[in-house]
């Protein structure tokens, strides 16, 4: 890994921080980024993945691409799992490479719920969710369906209480597998309209049992999933991701400020490694109201008692401002990390930045994955003042 120049701009991003039990050299987080390059049908990682993540080990913390906790939890072609021995062994290549390069990495644990298709389900049946509903948009099924690579989402079926208990077992098992694979911790994916969010949001949760109706009941799936993980690892190794607005399938909440403030309060006081909040942005939801979104993020910041990470189309300078004035403790970058494997070096040097090739985001091989050039810092003359 290339040494990072001493930053003279965006300096707040380069103060060390502890994410629970994990010491980070800076406050630049690599956001979870689905790239759809795992090997099907085993859904394993390869030496190419190890190279990709090791290239980005200059981040204070890497959060892995979303990684399904079970076959039922998959919703996109060529995404990795963390529930079989083969998957654990394949991820060990990645974590070993990141650690050898001086980095730290958490595994994002994922169940997509309704944002899936029958082709991914073990029995070929309907995907599961909080309630029966049909997400908007299409599932990325690759070559698994004759009408692919994308086909409309089918209707999802409501989980019964036995199904919910089974998924809690899946979270326990996946969390234990992540530790076996050498991850420094896990991030519970409770954002972006996927399964946990489907229980949280009023549009997708129309249950009348202990997991629906009242706000406390709609948050029960979230807190039980977290408690399941705490049975296999300390809370200081667990982060949680929330997104008050936007995401897959066009689910929504009628009162995101109240709902996600309550979710944050339910997570506070548990000694978590961090809370990772996605502010509304045009990549997540077209026409997002940035001012309203920032007010919601500020309320969640005030409600949480641990490290607070924000994500959502931040520029380096804006990220530094948010950290400097205490609106966040760290900032997660997504697209910038795709195109700039040495992003912390570039931020410290004031750029320049590679542009991401959107045509290579999903699927394929090394092109657009491991072939973005790093900055030559042997003679950096453009360090920002």
Residues 6+ apart with CB under 8 A from 197: 190, 191, 204, 243, 247, 251
**Burial readout 230-258 (b: 16 or more C-beta within 10 A, e: otherwise):** bebbebbbbbbbbbbbbbbbebbbeebee
**Max alpha carbon distance in the chain (Å)?**
64
Within 8 A by CB and 6+ apart from 228, the residues are 168, 169, 171, 172, 175
Positive or negative CA dihedral for 240, 356, 100, 17? negative
For the residues of 65-126, what is the DSSP string, one character each? SPEESSGGG--BTT--BSSSHHHHHHHHHHHHHHHHTT--EEEEEE--TTSS-GGGSTTS--
The per-residue b/e assignment along 109-145, b for 16 or more CB within 10 angstroms, e otherwise, is: bbbbbbbbbbbbbeeeebbbbbbebebeeebbbbebe
Among candidate residues 52, 53, 171, 194, the one labeled active-site is: 194
Nearest to 238 by CA among 251, 228, 253: 228
Q: Scan for tokens 């990772």, then name that residue.
A: 276
- CB within 8 Å of 150: residues ≥ 6 apart: 138, 139, 140, 141
- HSE (side-chain half, CA atoms, 13 Å) at 139: 32
What are the backbone angles phi and psi of residue 102, rounded to the nearest 5°?
A: 90, 10
194 carries an active-site annotation: yes
Tally of CA atoms within 13 A in the half-sphere of 294 that contains its CB: 8
- The closest of 249, 259, 266, 245 to 312, measured between CA atoms, is 245
CA angle, 202 then 208 then 209, to 5°? 115
**Would you please indicate which residues are annotated as catalytic (active-site) residues?**
194
């Amino acid at each position: 890994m290339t040494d990072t120049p001493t930053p003279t701009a965006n300096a707040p991003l380069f103060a060390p921080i502890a994410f629970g039990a994990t010491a980070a050299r800076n406050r630049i987080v690599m956001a979870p980024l689905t790239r759809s390059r795992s090997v099907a049908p085993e859904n394993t990682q390869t030496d190419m993945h190890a190279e990709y993540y090791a290239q980005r080990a200059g981040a204070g913390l890497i959060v892995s691409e979303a990684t399904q906790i079970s076959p039922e939890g998959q919703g996109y072609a060529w995404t990795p799992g963390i529930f079989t021995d083969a998957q654990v062994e394949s991820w060990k290549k990645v974590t070993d490479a990141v650690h050898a390069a001086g980095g730290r990495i958490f595994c994002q644990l994922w169940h997509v719920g309704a944002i899936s298709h029958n082709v991914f389900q073990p029995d070929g049946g309907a995907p599961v969710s909080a309630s029966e509903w049909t997400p908007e948009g299409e599932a990325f099924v690759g070559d698994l369906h004759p009408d692919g690579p994308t086909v409309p989402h089918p209707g999802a079926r409501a989980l019964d209480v036995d199904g919910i208990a089974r998924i809690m077992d899946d979270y326990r098992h996946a969390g234990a597998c992540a530790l076996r694979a050498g991850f420094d911790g896990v991030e519970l994916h409770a954002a972006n309209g996927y399964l946990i969010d489907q229980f949280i949001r009023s549009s997708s949760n129309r249950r009348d049992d202990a997991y629906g109706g009242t706000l406390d009941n709609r948050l029960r799936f979230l807190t039980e999933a977290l408690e399941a993980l705490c049975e296999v690892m300390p809370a200081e190794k667990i982060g949680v991701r929330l997104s008050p607005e936007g995401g897959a399938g066009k689910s929504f909440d009628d009162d995101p400020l109240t709902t996600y403030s309550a979710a944050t309060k339910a997570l506070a006081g548990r000694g978590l490694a961090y809370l990772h909040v996605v502010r509304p942005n045009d990549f997540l939801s077209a026409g997002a109201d940035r001012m309203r979104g920032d007010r919601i993020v500020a309320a969640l910041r005030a409600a949480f008692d641990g490290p607070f990470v924000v994500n959502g189309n931040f520029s380096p300078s804006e990220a530094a401002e948010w950290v400097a004035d205490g609106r966040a403790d760290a900032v997660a970058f997504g697209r910038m990390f795709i195109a700039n494997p040495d992003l912390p070096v570039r931020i410290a040097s004031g750029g320049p930045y590679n542009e991401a090739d959107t045509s290579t985001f999903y699927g394929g091989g090394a092109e657009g994955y491991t072939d973005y050039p790093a900055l030559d810092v042997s003679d950096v003359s453009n360090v920002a003042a």
